Amino acid sequence: MQEQSQIKLELKNITKTFGSLVAVDDLSLMVKKGEVHGLLGENGAGKSTLMNVLYGLLAADSGKILIDGQEVQITSPADAISHGIGMVHQHFMLVPTISVLENVLLMLSNEDKSFFPKANQVRQRILEFSEIFSLDVDPNALVRDLSLGQQQCVEIIKAVYNDSDILILDEPTAVLNPNEAAELFIIVERLRDMGKSVIFISHKLQELMDICDRITVLRDGKIIDTVAIEETTAQELSYLMIGKRLNIQLQRNNEPEGDVVLQIGDLLAKSSGGSTAVDHLNLEVRSGEIYGIAGVDGNGQSELIMAISSLSEYESGSIAIDCNQLELMCSPKDVLDCNVAHIPEDRQRIGTAMGMTVGENLVLHNIDNLEFRNHRLLDWKKINSYAEKIVEKYDIRTPGVEAPLSSLSGGNQQKLLVARELEKKPKLLLAMHPTRGVDIGAIDFIHKQIIAARNEGCAVLLISTDLEEILALSDRIGVMYKGKIKGEVSRDKVKMKDIAMWMVGKDSDAEQIKAG
């Protein structure tokens, strides 16, 4: 027990600023040997920045790093590795077209300068690790053929390959499904049993409660508290994290449902791979109603949204928005002209232009607005003051409206996207995973905004794999399974059991009885 409480890693008074934004503010942290230490905080709280400093990807403005009581200088990832620090990044750092073995060799190429790498030795080592962690990793398999969970395993092998004693996992479960996450937890526990220190970064409360020994809560670049897991509750942690109690009860006007805004009839759409993704689907969304589509990812949700927004072609069927029948080959602009707002599932790839400024991103839809003109030219002063208003209204944390969007944290990028779409005062809102990868504070905020739009008469089609989100927001819930709406139920008649059955493609009990 005495050995366990030994301090392995100590960060002292670390400060890191980006321009006028203080990302990490005079922060000190201690990690013990053989513990899993959770870092909890909203997006932009400074978790990733702190870990990038520790791993040598960013240089701190001031502060010290001590390992085993010795002060060390870490200016590059190579330094970090030589001090026994391994990191698994939020986004995988793997080359998909080559094998697992080659990926590990690639990492080793810094030390092993020989022309012919010692492949057999390394392969042996990978197999050893696979055995220790009971992983299922074939060193010769191509990375692109592996599931995300397996890729995560490869990342972990890379991180522990050099016998690192400190392992940083940056949002390791963000891309994993629940089963894969459970397997990851087993590996993390095994690492702890081996006496390694694991720093586990996440904004998901529950998983930190499950796996960690101690949790440090960060807010605005400062440490709020470090608590041992036995001495705390989820409620307390979430309070520490966002600084206020969660507002779970959302204000909802129960106004009568209005006209049908979105009507989909017999829609057939194929995935990019050519298989049927949306299979003769029928759907209606009314004004002032949130229709939530639940279901396991990959059951045609993406294709449904792409078809409605006309971003990809569909085979047959009819789509009508606000009584305008859309043609089969209409352009995305025709759809937007029906006053449709769209929060796409991938904010970085589709939703925004990361290289442009905050202000430029906010006027994506209304650049032609005459308010922004001075004689016939764009007046950036007017645009920027408009952007500043939005930034304030939606509480988007940014160094300024002229800062590039890429300098904002993920949660704030998402807020900006939501703000831009809702400012259109749309008749129909298509929202796909509107809060994916966003912290609790921002989730709460985005939910409120969606509800507010609904109360003003907007029809909302909400697609999410987060069942809690669907249940919290929707007036009607449909479960999508293999391209069809498997079952549909209104808010007051929801039974969790039915939804769970529909999600795996079975009929609910009630229907079975009827059929029998």
Partner 1 sequence: MLIELTGESALDTYKVLFEGAFIGKNNLSETLIKSSILLLTGLSYAFVAKVGLINIGAEGQLYIGAACSAAVGIYGTFLPGALHLIAALLAGFVGGMIWGGIVGFFKERFGANEIITSLMMNYIAILVVSYLVHEPMKDMSQTYPYSYRVATSAQLPRILTGTRLHAGLFVALLCLFFYWIYYRYTSSGYRMRVIGQNRLNAEYAGYNVRKNMFAAMAIGGGFAGLGGALEILGVQFRLFDNFSSGYGFDGIFAAILANLHPLGMILTSVVFGGLRNGGLMIQVKTNVSSTLTSVVQSLVIILVLMRIFDRLPIWGKKHSNQSLRKRSSD
Return the range that interacts with partner 1 (CB under 8 A); candidates 1-9, 119-127, 405-413, 466-474: 405-413
- Using CB under 8 A as the binding rule, whether residue 454 contacts partner 1 is answered as no
Chosen residue from 326, 407, 471, 484 binding partner 1 by CB under 8 A: 407
Given the complex with partner 1, which of 152 and 409 has the nearer CB atom?
409
- Using CB under 8 A as the binding rule, whether residue 344 contacts partner 1 is answered as yes
Return the range that interacts with partner 1 (CB under 8 A); candidates 267-275, 372-380, 387-395, 447-455: 372-380
Beta 377-378 vs 373-374: how paired, if at all?
Answer: antiparallel
| CA atoms within 13 Å, Cβ hemisphere of 154 | 32
- Using CB under 8 A as the binding rule, whether residue 377 contacts partner 1 is answered as yes
- The residues, ordered by sequence, that sit 6+ positions from 324 with a Cβ below 8 Å of its Cβ are 338
Return the range that interacts with partner 1 (CB under 8 A); candidates 52-60, 231-239, 279-287, 460-468: 52-60
Chosen residue from 164, 202, 216, 409 binding partner 1 by CB under 8 A: 409
- Using CB under 8 A as the binding rule, whether residue 368 contacts partner 1 is answered as yes
Angle among Cα 125, 128, 132 to the nearest 5 degrees reads 140
- Using CB under 8 A as the binding rule, whether residue 52 contacts partner 1 is answered as yes
Chosen residue from 66, 354, 452, 494 binding partner 1 by CB under 8 A: 354
- Using CB under 8 A as the binding rule, whether residue 105 contacts partner 1 is answered as no
Residue 222, φ and ψ in degrees, nearest 5: -120, 155
Distances (CA, A) of 171 to 43, 62, 428, 450, 482: 11, 26, 33, 26, 29
- Using CB under 8 A as the binding rule, whether residue 349 contacts partner 1 is answered as yes
Distance CA 477, CA 495 (A): 11
Least CB distance to partner 1 at residue 23 (A): 6
Distance CA 102, CA 100 (A): 5
Given the complex with partner 1, which of 277 and 340 has the nearer CB atom?
340
Given the complex with partner 1, which of 171 and 444 has the nearer CB atom?
171
Given the complex with partner 1, which of 186 and 328 has the nearer CB atom?
328
- Using CB under 8 A as the binding rule, whether residue 323 contacts partner 1 is answered as no
Chosen residue from 96, 258, 298, 355 binding partner 1 by CB under 8 A: 355
Least CB distance to partner 1 at residue 65 (A): 17
Distances (CA, A) of 166 to 82, 137, 267, 493: 11, 23, 52, 50
Given the complex with partner 1, which of 424 and 506 has the nearer CB atom?
424
Chosen residue from 43, 301, 302, 398 binding partner 1 by CB under 8 A: 43
Per DSSP (E only), the strands in 425-465 are 428-432, 459-463
Given the complex with partner 1, which of 16 and 433 has the nearer CB atom?
16
Least CB distance to partner 1 at residue 437 (A): 9
Cα-only R_g, the chain: 25
In this structure, is the dihedral angle defined by the CA atoms of residues 506, 508, 510 and 511, taken in order, positive or negative? negative
Contact predicate 79/47, CB 8 Å:
no
Distance CA 440, CA 42 (A): 7
Contact predicate 100/143, CB 8 Å:
yes
Distances (CA, A) of 63 to 19, 53, 88: 18, 10, 23
Return the range that interacts with partner 1 (CB under 8 A); candidates 235-243, 276-284, 399-407, 496-504: 399-407
- Using CB under 8 A as the binding rule, whether residue 410 contacts partner 1 is answered as yes
In this structure, is the dihedral angle defined by the CA atoms of residues 509, 511, 512 and 516, taken in order, positive or negative? positive
SS3 state at 370: helix
Given the complex with partner 1, which of 349 and 493 has the nearer CB atom?
349
Which of 312, 288, 291, 290 shows the shortest CA–CA distance to 300?
Answer: 312
User: Tokens 């929801």 appear where?
Assistant: 494
Q: Which of residues 297-316 bind partner 1 (CB under 8 A)?
A: 309, 311
Applying CB under 8 A, which residues contact partner 1?
16, 18-19, 23, 43-44, 47-49, 52, 57-58, 90, 170-171, 309, 311, 331-333, 335-337, 342, 344, 349-356, 360, 363-365, 367-368, 376-378, 380, 404, 406-410, 413
